[in-house]
Amino acid sequence: MDFKLSEEQQMLQDTAARLVRDAYPFEQREKFSESELGFSAGFWAQLGELGLIAVPFAEDFGGFGGSGVETMLVMTELGRGLSLEPYLQSVIFAGGLIDQLGSEAQKAELLPQIAAGSLQLAVALDEPQSHYKLNDVQTRAEAVDGGYRLSGRKAVVIGGHSAGGIIVSARTSGGSRDETGISLYLVDPSAEGVSRRVYPTIDGRKGCELFLDNVQVGADALLGEAGNALSALRYQQGRAIAAQCADALGSMQEACTLTLDYLKTRRQFGVPIGKFQVLQHRMVDMQTELEQATSMAILAATVADAEDSDDRSRTLAAAKYICTRAARKIAEEAIQLHGGIGMTWEYNLAHHAKRLVMIAHQFGDDDHHLQAYARLMQVA
């Protein structure tokens, strides 16, 4: 594949790379992770000032009108620096849902704030029993005078501890796994009846369990048509998967670079261990996995904003499978080639491995997407 960036795309990539390199050294990243916020408010502000948050939004809402490719360039650099900020959750997923389902008034109010970085959102779609199935929703929404009343529990809401608003999926009708009857609501985390249990995830970010106890929201909190949100959820999760593949790509690239540098400098029996042929073969295997993941991440980026279709879904399922498989292989090989130092908390390779493991299980693991691909091939 001859994939060349335009001048504008190259400038965007250079801007993101320079910002991450200058503002996100590993030692500083650990301080961000241990803080109460769990990420850097200053770095988030810099992303907004440089227009990197605005990349995927239309110019009418203060954005740049970027495609999946531009999003890929930003996400790759954020992945390289192990960024803790909820860019994917707030900008790609939540912003995409509002852009697709929101009324003109909702989009005019919310999207410019998201694009500027002044409003962070989170998405609360998973539940303890759902296991990657967006249609498995037990949280209920009951229509009442002036709005809706929500009750239920949401699991692993990344960035939900600090979000100014949380998009919640809730069932307005039907059984817990029906394809219809699912609606989306924008919930204020400070509203009466909302509680959160905050915890760190294995890759250093913060997430929360979200509990809704008869939470009252207004009619204007509904996104789109009541009961028909599932198709939009699946479409926007596809965009998030493409962005996540790019995130993993940046982390895999950095893991390979760290490993190669280590093989060149670590000496044993008087020579660099990179001279040993068996280690060279394993390094080649890592690079092969990286090249395959790179091709699939690029392919996913090119279809991320395409019209919804089985072909798009197949491509995204294949990309997530290949990138997940590569992420696991590269993380394991990098740690083994480093030896004990690869597992130390003070060395950033261990944190890249944790991020890659987390990515491998978010939005569906490799088995889930392999099965999805097989089903889609049967209907092709």
Residue 166's beta-bridge partner residues?
A: 122, 187
Give the pLDDT score at 101. 98
73 contact partners, CB below 8 Å, separation of at least 6: 5, 9, 12, 13, 16, 246
Give the pLDDT score at 199. 96
Is residue 75 classed exposed, middle or buried when 0-12, 13-18 and 19+ CB atoms within 10 A define those classes? buried
211-265 per-position pLDDT tens digit: 999 999 999 999 999 999 999 999 999 999 999 999 999 999 999 999 999 999 9
32-70 per-position pLDDT tens digit: 999 999 999 999 999 999 999 999 999 999 999 999 999
332-368 per-position pLDDT tens digit: 999 999 998 888 888 999 999 999 999 999 999 999 9
pLDDT mean across residues, the chain: 95
- Torsion sign (Cα): 238, 244, 250, 251: negative
- Torsion sign (Cα): 293, 294, 300, 301: positive
d(CA 77, CA 74): 5
d(CA 179, CA 181): 7
Strand pairing category for 271-272 and 267-268: antiparallel
CB 231 within 8 A of CB 256: no
142-179 per-position pLDDT tens digit: 999 999 999 999 999 999 999 999 999 999 999 999 99
Q: Is the pLDDT of residue 268 over 80?
A: yes
Q: In angstroms, what CA-CA distances link 14 with 5, 7, 44, 52, 77?
A: 11, 11, 17, 12, 9
Give the pLDDT score at 4. 86
Backbone angles phi, psi at 2, to 5 degrees: -95, 90
Strand pairing category for 267-268 and 140-144: unpaired
Give the pLDDT score at 341. 87
d(CA 191, CA 57): 28
d(CA 242, CA 40): 24
SS (H, E, C) the chain: CCCCCCHHHHHHHHHHHHHHHHHCCHHHHHHHHHCCCCCCHHHHHHHHHCCCCCCCCCHHHCCCCCCHHHHHHHHHHHHHCCCCCCHHHHHHHHHHHHHHHCCHHHHHHHHHHHHHCCCCEEEECCCCCCCCCCCCCCCEEEEECCEEEEEEEECCCCCCCCCCEEEEEEECCCCCCCCCCEEEEEECCCCCCEEEEEEECCCCCEEEEEEEEEEEEEHHHEECCCCECHHHHHHHHHHHHHHHHHHHHHHHHHHHHHHHHHHHHCEECCEEHHHCHHHHHHHHHHHHHHHHHHHHHHHHHHHCCCCCCHHHHHHHHHHHHHHHHHHHHHHHHHHHHHHHHHHCCCCHHHHHHHHHHHHHHCCCCHHHHHHHHHHHHHCC
Give the pLDDT score at 8. 94
Q: Compute and round to an integer the Cα radius of gyration of the chain.
A: 21
Structure tokens at 277: 């042929």
Give the pLDDT score at 1. 55
Other Cβ atoms less than 10 A from the Cβ of 81: the count is 22
Give the pLDDT score at 380. 65
d(CA 333, CA 341): 13
d(CA 72, CA 70): 5
Banded model confidence at residue 269, pLDDT cuts 50, 70, 90: confident
Give the pLDDT score at 275. 86
- Torsion sign (Cα): 53, 63, 251, 201: positive
d(CA 50, CA 243): 19
